[in-house]
Structure 1
Amino acid sequence: MTNHKYFKTILLSAAIVTMGFCFTACDDDDPILPGTGIETAQWSAVNDADLKGQTLIYEFEAPASWTALSNEEWCEVLTPSGYQGKSSLRMKVEPNDGKLGRSAEVSVQIDGYAEPCVLIIRQGEGVVEKGEGRFRDINQWTLDIMSDYYLWNENIPDIILDHSLDYDLFLAQILDGVAENDDANHDDGLWDNGERVSYYSNIQSNAPLSRATGESYNDAGLAIQATILGPNDDDPCGFTVMFVTPGTAAEEAGVHRGDFITKVNNIAVTHDNYSQLGNSLLNGNVTVDLNSVKFNNGVATITNRVPSVMIAKSSYIDPAIYKSTVVTAANGKKIGYLLYMNFHMDYDSQLLQVFNQFKAEGVEELVIDLRYNNGGHVLSSTVLGTLVAGQSHQGQTYLRTTYNSARTA
């Protein structure tokens, strides 16, 4: 009897186990429904996210439990799963600091449905636009110049560039792009402790007026730069005189380098009108007040130097040599000063005369002012180098010129 009861118990247990397997098999045979199962959702096929990063929240109706997964780490799914009914899909999108747009695929899988619902999160399309686009023409000009003339120009066509940036940042991304190619332009820049402090290549706005030496002009004859005397927008605004061309109406009117002009034709210079007034000033036939400026602990003090000066328009030929003089220092040394604006062969004979005068007056030290020199003829620069170096350096190499492969060819 005991063995018989034990046998029945084993059979009963076996029956229960068999029934369990039967139930499991029946679940596996449940039909998989076609499609994604999502009919109502707030998202679109492609959804744009802010370049600065943001949290995206989309509501949808889930017919069953669901899971969500992103294929990119920068687009994190904050709600990786949910239940049947009204649901929220939340994603945290990191800031895009790169040059390119990017996209991530987020898949929402509803239990019991054949296909996941895939939505795209896009952060920028193609090249990420990070500027206002005010300098696109200048940027294209910069790119053309760099592509043709930059010594390390071979990989510039492969650099991804954002033309919407301000002109200085646009040039910087070209230079940085070249540097990323095995530090190809290592020699373009100042280095300190293994780090590049700055590039030698640069672009400037409101630079002193560029003129062609020996050419004839008909204007006021000066170069100016729009200036704010302080860090705040409400600090004094005006024009700093960078230099005055010899023999012009501006020189005859007594305008000096360093003068600060706050009014043109009795109209105060402001953020809104400086461009218009600056063009009028350069053209000539205007009345200005000439001021001097002194700084004390960063605070500017403006003092009127000459009131109501008329600067006429006049015709003149722009020279290469603006000024040459000999100054006697307190210790009795004679110092020669030369303001040389352009290396131009037509003025080499005048350059020789200047140095003969320096020698005749016993000049011991020399200051050559090239701050506004626009370059010019290499042979003229060789003349200047020879005059400075003297006989002791005769026969030595003065200049070795290297061009990129396209210009060399």
Structure 2
Amino acid sequence: MKQFLKISLLAITIFFISCDKNSPLEKNTSTNDDLNFFIWRGLNLYYLWQKDVPDLADDRFYNYDDLYTYFGEYNSPEAVFESLLNRPDDRFSIIVDDYIALENSFQGLNLSNGMEFGLVTYKNGSSNVYGYVRYVVPNSSAESENVTRGMIFNTVDGSQITINNYLELLFSSNTNYTIGLADFNDGNPIENGTTISLEKTELQENPIATSKIFTEGSQKIGYLMYNQFARNYDSQLNAAFANFKSENINDLIVDLRYNPGGSVSTATYLGSMITGQFTGELYSQEIWNDKATAAWSSDVFLNNFTDQIRNVDTDGSVILEETINSLGLNRIYFIVSYGSASASELVINALSSHIQVNLIGETTRGKQQGSITLYDSENLQRTGDNLNTNHTYAMQPLVLEISNKDGVNYPEGIIPGSINFPGIELGEDYGNLGVLGERSDPLLDETLNYITTGLKSSAKTSKKLNFKEIYDSKLAIPASDYMFVNPRK
């Protein structure tokens, strides 16, 4: 972690130079003072837009007391953090008060009842909202209560869901609630009298939801539904590709429609599994702020195709090392939606510089920035000296912009059927979602037809044109739609 320490010491040196020659510690500090300095210091060092935020300038404060007094006017660490962000360009930086929950979330462990869902406004233009079940996590409360994909619900604990109350009803600290099911009714759901009570528990989700092979005539087509780029499942992901490889598949469909992102290293591994003929070549490249750029050598910002998974823990000890099972494909098919973000978009974009990338679904989120987790310690890492034990705050600020080998990314999202991404623009039909991994799923069925015939069906117009999806359950988890990198060495 020497590079983290090097840049941290550099910034502290700059800060001391700008301070008064007298002792910088002129008063006893409180936990809030410590937090405020941690927030300022971390963002001053690593924030992607550091030079664009006046309060993050190296010479902004005369001494420590000046900084403490200034930020002491804010009523919470969250308010201090928000005041230092470059909104609206920055849509995704967050601060959390429980870094354990954040770390768990990056590994697919969340407080959840296992019902993953989207929320949609009524077609009639009212403020009413309904939920549709996307899928159910195994071994969860939702599974035990027989919740299934395609169910529609419009009430929680007897209250109609609306634009104004959905966060309180579904995402508060309450661990139990009861949903009221409804009939779809062409987008204006009507209650049908059935209720289901659900309980949130600590739930581990395997992101490799489905891996199977379809035989279509003489063609073997692999299908992988992958719901998060979680590093602790890299070996299982590689095993799925070992099966595809042993079966000699001709084509591959990777379903990322509900995948909000995750680890950049895992995204690189996935791209290397799909291909294999580009080992050592440039996969993606990162742009950090001027301080990071000056502190590290240029090769640190380059991510290359690889033939090996090598993951280490925070102490640098190897926790996984194995050869990648690569398919050597020259074309790939992705199923996508607005829920496909960050690392999902990275894989699509990075591969498009090397092979033909086909997309079926809807325009992706448009998140081309990545983040790191910063802790209140001397080098801003969890294992750093003098980790502050008086709180469990951590920051997940955007620190980099990422692009393919040609320097291209898509901040407005990647569009299926566009010039660079042939395919079909098609949204999910909330009244007919079908079964994931089966041909009854309209998006999968359309993709299989497209592969085998090269034709687009007459149903290619998006089913969502008259509907507005406003939120989904993935956005409420601590990790949300974050693309993150490991600490640089």
* TM-score (structure 2 length as normaliser): 0.37
- Determine which structure has the larger strand proportion and give its number: 1
